[in-house]
Structure 1
Amino acid sequence: LGAYELGRTLGEGNFGKVKQARNRATGEHFAVKILDRGRVLSLRGADDQVRREIATLTMLAHPNVVRLHEVAASKTKIYMVLEFVNGGELFDRIAIKRKLSEREGRRLFQQLIDGVSYCHGKGVYHRDLKPENVLIDRKGNIKISDFGLSALPQHLGNDGLLHTTCGSPNYIAPEVNDWPPSDQLSVLLYIC
């Protein structure tokens, strides 16, 4: 990744880290997801998850979805160069403010609906929508991120449904666990 100067660590996940980076030629800032290739290959299904995230992000171009700019790999690492969203996670915004005003909540929720609707229109189902995967830029606009558990139309069963349980337990749609029906957007709205 010679074109980029890596900076501070923005976050860490199961397979690696996300670092802030600056394009040496343009000065533009990015977030670079650096995945440990050995770890990805050693965990069952993880390589499919990474491929799926890359394929999914390649399909998407919407103001409320994080953009993938470039993918590179070495013998030991996989690099995903992503749009840098400089305002942090919705989770942190809620933790600091304790609650959002009705106006701000409505505005953010509308952007979330716009982004999710766009994804669904492209046949992309996020399946892990939670405040930690909703980023906010400095202008207060949201960006949906982390499409590692997403599903595409080819993952649908013969009945038109997805049959794999995934997501974060605190935010998963209740019907996935045989609870009364609900949806992830409603869960996020309630949290805000």
Structure 2
Amino acid sequence: MDAVVLKKRGYSLGDTLGEGSYGKVKAAYCHRLKRKVAIKIIDKKKMSQNVLEKFLPREMQALMQLHHPSIIETYEIFETSSGKVYIVMELGEKGSLFTYLTTQGALEESVARSKFQQLASAIKHCHDLDFAHRDLKCDNILLDNDLNFKLSDFGFSKPLARDENGKTVLSSTFCGSLAYSAPELLEHIPCDPRISDMWSLGIILYAMLFASQPFDSSNVKEMLQVQKQRKIPFLKSKHVSAECKNLISRLLHPDVTQRLCIDDVLKHPWLYASTHLQSSHFLQKSVKKCHAGKI
């Protein structure tokens, strides 16, 4: 049935990439765009009323509003009379960051820095437009052919509301995966979900460098205690710079008032040093070319 519907719109359906409780993601070839794409197929009949009325409209809103080089691009969304929604998206050819870290191991710090910068700029784009992702994890970061990071899956995303004074309305819904969840979410304390996103970002950065999780999520009560004690297990087996450890520690701060926001992250010495080095390297190359008479 899906193949027939999609063929009429110029898509040749391929393998299943993933499956959930009310939908699946399939690879396809788009003849119009002349490229491989991913198509998320959602069956509204299998959805609970809550998901149908609350989460699906939010996901659609996010996909239509968020456009950034490090966010999976949405090409087309359409619905059939039988209640199926088709979301045609950019394909992450190299799979997820989770799969990459599982099969290839941890990233070198210099590589992690440039990739993390891509992810941070994508999150800044979301937060600046008053969207919280609320399910940031290695599984939801896809890699293109050049291993560039592409943020995906906005199924739990939420556009932030503001009160009459312009202050962000706090959220009290628990979303996402335990291993990536901030202490305030585990304790059901109302919070700005963008600040909780920042905790998840810290977990992702740790995972990129060590190919493991900083906290054991098998016992939530114990994990919460360790999180609050600020005991981050920086493994001795790998050298990581003091600036990088500082960034992780400040993202994994249990106190929401002390945790870095995305603008602070992008100004952090660990990322700033990388940007500064790149620009000075570019400048040196330009000067050399200039002396060689090439520009």
Query: How does the TM-score come out when normalised to structure 1?
Result: 0.91
- Moved runs in structure 1, 4+ residues, more than 2 A? 24-27, 154-160
Larger helix share, 1 or 2? 2
2:70 pairs with 1:54: no
Kindly indicate whether the alpha-carbon contact (under 8 Å) linking 1:32 and 1:82 is maintained by their aligned counterparts in 2.
yes
Where 2:49 maps in the other structure, the secondary structure is coil
Unaligned runs of 5+ in 1: none
Amino acid paired to 1:62: H
Amino acid paired to 2:150: K
1:24, CA displacement in angstroms?
2.6
- After superposition, the C-alpha distances for 1:69-123 in whole angstroms (9 at most, x for unaligned) are 1111121421011111211100011101221111121111111111101110111
Q: Give, in whole Å, the separation in 2 of the partners of 1:21 and 1:106.
A: 32
What is the aligned-residue RMSD (CA, Å)?
Answer: 2.1
1:183 aligns to what? 199
Q: Give, in whole Å, the separation in 1 of the partners of 2:162 and 2:178.
A: 21
- After superposition, the C-alpha distances for 1:142-179 in whole angstroms (9 at most, x for unaligned) are 11000010110238897632221111111112221149
Larger strand share, 1 or 2? 1
Q: Give, in whole Å, the separation in 2 of the partners of 1:59 and 1:156.
A: 22
Q: Give, in whole Å, the separation in 2 of the partners of 1:60 and 1:66.
A: 9
Residues 1:153 and 1:108: Cα distance change in structure 2 (over 3 Å)? same
Where 1:70 maps in the other structure, the secondary structure is strand
Higher relative contact order (CA 8 A, sep 6+): 1
Residues 1:49 and 1:65: Cα distance change in structure 2 (over 3 Å)? same
> Equivalent pairs: percent with the same residue?
36
Unaligned runs of 5+ in 2: 1-5, 189-195, 209-295
Kindly indicate whether the alpha-carbon contact (under 8 Å) linking 1:135 and 1:144 is maintained by their aligned counterparts in 2.
yes
- Identify the match of residue 161 of structure 1 among 162, 167, 170: 170
1:44 aligns to what? 49
Query: How does the TM-score come out when normalised to structure 2?
Result: 0.60
Q: Give, in whole Å, the separation in 1 of the partners of 2:104 and 2:178.
A: 24
Q: How many residue pairs end up in the alignment?
A: 189
1:4, CA displacement in angstroms?
0.9
Who wins on radius of gyration, i.e. which is larger?
A: 2
2:65 pairs with 1:64: no
Bigger mean CA offset, 151-160 vs 78-87: 151-160
